[in-house]
Structure 1
Amino acid sequence: MSLTSEDLVNIRRDLHKIPELALKEKQTHEYLIGKINSFPQDFLEIKEVPELPTAILVRVNGSDPKRNIGYRADMDALPVTESNDLEYRSQHPGIMHACGHDLHMTVALGLLSYFSEHQPKDNLVFFFQPAEESESGGRQAYDLGIFSGNFKIDEFYGLHDNADLATGIIGCRNGTLFAGTSEVNVTIHGMSGHAAYPHKANDAVIIAANFINQVQTIISRSIDPTKCGVITFGKLEAGTIRNVIAGKARIEGTIRGLTQDMIEFIKQRIVDVAKGLELSFNATIDVEFNQGGYYPVENDPDLTKQFIDYMQQADGVKFQETRPAMTGEDFGYLLSKIPGTMFWLGVASPGALHSADFLPHEEAIIDGVNAIKGFLEYRMNE
């Protein structure tokens, strides 16, 4: 018998108790395998990945397949100490499912449970993915070639819960849903010296201040105002004591853009600014970027139109077209390789995503399962 709404809530609470960080999802992996093995196995084929040992792939063999449809659910949690006083609060100190991946996995199990008993027409491939929050688990999986043979995926779908949408609402848009993100690390090499003799030193703090100010003009003066980009520097370290001029400074930040072209443009302009300041201050500035797999989540136009058309007319589904968000998601890397669609599931949490008081409404779980199940069956008949 397919999982009931009560079953799904209990599963989500079980998973909420055992959050684990990227690539360490061993307990989560064992819990998921236990649940998957409890489903009817007539149509199921399970694949594990030694090189990515917490990942799980499950293929549901279709009755008359024309395509392999992929569905992804991320598994990892965040280094956040939960503030919710719940019977099922996190049992792992300093770690919490503050982004709702426990709910993502639960929805996927609900879908898998249903299709294990109701054979789909097309093949379905469920991907329980480790390391979304860091380490680019989606990119690692793709680069390992795990989506091949029986587990080749022709089109990919996945959800993310949304604290600001009403419970159970499906939100989506054509084009970019989430921004791409890239880390940027800048090391400035000047020359230290006595605070009383600045002319005998090369002040890395002054260079850092100029660098930050000039880089911020990239957004205001180099980018079309109708397009989006963000540069934020959240960390600056320099110096050891107040009366010694710092000879070295390190700046750490993030770049976000709604297209990969935008991210590449911002990267190049940052390098240009660094080169100019090297000449101006006779210093050396090293700039490093690390994007990993956090590409913009750019939804496939045709598949997303079908998805939206279905959700807008389906009985019992509440749909809302949403605006792009500047949050990042490594599903963007998978969508850069395989066409597909990412969408929101409203959970109306009083606390924001990534916050210690994030608390999704669990009624959204069954709403998500029903809406996605309906879409997949609709898509398989196209």
Structure 2
Amino acid sequence: MYPVSLPNWTTQAIVGLISAGCLIIAFFISFYHYNRKKYRPFLFLTLGPFLTIFMSLLYAFSVLFLSIPLIRASVYTFIPIGFFNILLLDSMSRETVDPVKILALGMISVALLFVSLDPSSFYINMFPNGEWRIYLGDNFLIVASPFFILIGTLYVYYAAKIYRDAPKELKIQALVFLLGGIITGFLSPGSLAIRLNDIIPAIHMILFAIGVLISSNTLASQPKLAYILPFKVLRLAIINTNSGVPLYTHIWEGSERTEDMIDPMLFSGMMHTISQFVQESLKKGNVTEIHLEEAILILERSEQFPIVCVLISTKSSQILRQNLNYFAKRFFEEFSQYFSDMSNLSNFATASDLVLEYFPFVPEYD
């Protein structure tokens, strides 16, 4: 028992509750955009802030009621938050989850769980201004440091890569996203490492919440940032498989160098020849993907009409395959009235509206 009436309303507790408020806002921003578009990165961007709300509330209530079990529970919630952070970063940089990152974080998390059970990991003491506070022990901070360093470094590293590769129109948003990463990944754990929170109560919590809010709001307002690293979409072609004539071609601005650009008619003829050769010589069905050293061609064919949609990207991705499928179905449905006579290519010009609808996340480069 401590000579203080509960709840223990102190600066530390109030800052913890303010942090929870910031994280609630970040959660609803992320959830709203995930519910609209179902982009994979937004799933992890939503789950992360959802858990951080509980982390902040547990932290604040542990101070309000001077409860060591509650501060320990707050620490435990940070472990799944770390895993969701890795899932978020991998979803923004590659097609699959990196098992090395998961293994490294898992080993550190086990050590963190063990040290949190040590009675000296958390203790209650009076602050010079007379407030009773909960402190983190040195042994806990030593073991927790690798956890925060790993998560923080990965966050800032990928945010910096996004800023480096972002087209000019996205540079400002990419810089703001990087700023959020630096606040969350470096400043927040750094304030713990140098014990700044012993001077400014719960400074690490408010820094963490501000960084998450900045990152969530930036990514939600500009989802193209999430698709700068995993692939670069080059062009979309819709081809008449009987004649090899391109009905519609969309080339993303800046995606292909001028000297590397292929004439749409030549490209369509090449695709027609390859598909016919494979289908007739191997007798194993239609071509669905063509893999090259530096690109991949994803194909969606119509079962009723001699039409194929071809998307060219530097790498394959679930969202590209899925949205090409959605695009193709809509195209076959809306333009079927013109398939009996495909000689008038102007009939297919409005397919650009479908490109904007199904590929709004694809960045345009300078």
> TM-score of the superposition, structure 1-length normalised?
0.23
Task: Give the helix-richer structure, 1 or 2.
Answer: 2
Task: Give the strand-richer structure, 1 or 2.
Answer: 1
Structure with higher Rg: it is: 2
Determine which structure has greater relative contact order: mean sequence separation of CA pairs < 8 Å that are 6+ residues apart, divided by chain length: 1
> TM-score of the superposition, structure 2-length normalised?
0.23
